[in-house]
Amino acid sequence: KNQVEQSPQSLIILEGKNCTLQCNYTVSPFSNLRWYKQDTGRGPVSLTIMTFSENTKSNGRYTATLDADTKQSSLHITASQLSDSASYICVVNRDAGNMLTFGGGTRLMVKP
Amino acid sequence: DTGVSQDPRHKITKRGQNVTFRCDPISEHNRLYWYRQTLGQGPEFLTYFQNEAQLEKSRLLSDRFSAERPKGSFSTLEIQRTEQGDSAMYLCASSSPRGYEQYFGPGTRLTVT
């Protein structure tokens, strides 16, 4: 079964601190991996997309890594802000466009 | 605003009633997707259109669910004889012919009482 597992399920950090979210997947074949940010009650917004050949990609304070051999990805958030409070969802694409498999998300809360 | 729009944003209905949601994709996007998301979970794929053709349907899409995209632009998702288990956020996304990226709308939150 194609699965995407994320950890931790939830995380509380203080404003200004860094954190790292994990994603393990068994989806095969693999086309690309995405990280989305979803604010409560809103649709997901893409942060990064990485293909098989990319090991790391940054978007401002967000840096995603990918190890296609071990089928693991991480999302590192630097110098967290209150507005980073959201769910972060790891998504794996099997066939370059149509079928996305979503993880359950990590709910991040940044406290002042 | 040229993003994906969905209407309504919230819908409360009684069990057994029919509901219909609308999605307007980004104008040049020919691909349109519907997802369902329950509280605390990631979205689950329901169905996918390329232009007006419905190319894929998940097993989650029971006979009570039907989706259309008659002119290859906006899409509707209808749920007949709603059940309490249908309560969820229904998300629509669109993508361009050559792009990996799917752009999501704000969702329609359905509550079945």
Q: Which of residues 16-45 of A touch B (CB under 8 A)?
A: 31-32, 34, 36, 41-45
In this predicted structure, what is the pLDDT of residue A93? 87
Cis peptide before A29 (omega within 30 of 0): yes
- CB contact B57 to A (< 8 Å): no
| Eight-state DSSP code of residue A78 | -
With beta carbons less than 8 A apart as the criterion, state whether A73 and B19 touch.
no
Residue A102: its chain B contacts at CB < 8 A? 42-44
In this predicted structure, what is the pLDDT of residue B62? 87
Task: Identify the burial level of A79 via C-beta atoms within 10 angstroms of its C-beta, where 0-12 means exposed, 13-18 middle and 19 or more buried.
Answer: exposed
Closest CA to B93 of A51, A34, A72: A34
* Radius of gyration for the alpha carbons in chain A, expressed in angstroms and rounded: 13
| Amino acid in the structure at residue A112 | P
- Position A49 pLDDT exceeds 60: yes
- Position A41 pLDDT exceeds 90: no
In this predicted structure, what is the pLDDT of residue A14? 97
In this predicted structure, what is the pLDDT of residue A1? 59
Q: What is the pLDDT of residues A53-109, one digit of tens each?
A: 899 999 999 999 999 899 999 999 999 999 999 999 999 987 755 678 899 999 999
B106 vs A43, A91, A100: nearest CB: A43
Report, as ranges of residue numbers, the positions in chain B whose pLDDT lies below 70.
1
Closest chain A C-alpha to B42 CA, distance in angstroms:
4
| Amino acid in the structure at residue B88 | A
| Distance set, CA A23 to CA A7, A72, B47 (Å) | 7, 6, 25
In this predicted structure, what is the pLDDT of residue B58? 87
Q: Which residue has the tokens 């190890």?
A: A67
- CB contact A73 to B (< 8 Å): no
Residue A31: its chain B contacts at CB < 8 A? 100
Q: What is the pLDDT of residues A20-32, one digit of tens each?
A: 999 999 987 788 8
Closest CA to B45 of B30, B32, B60: B60
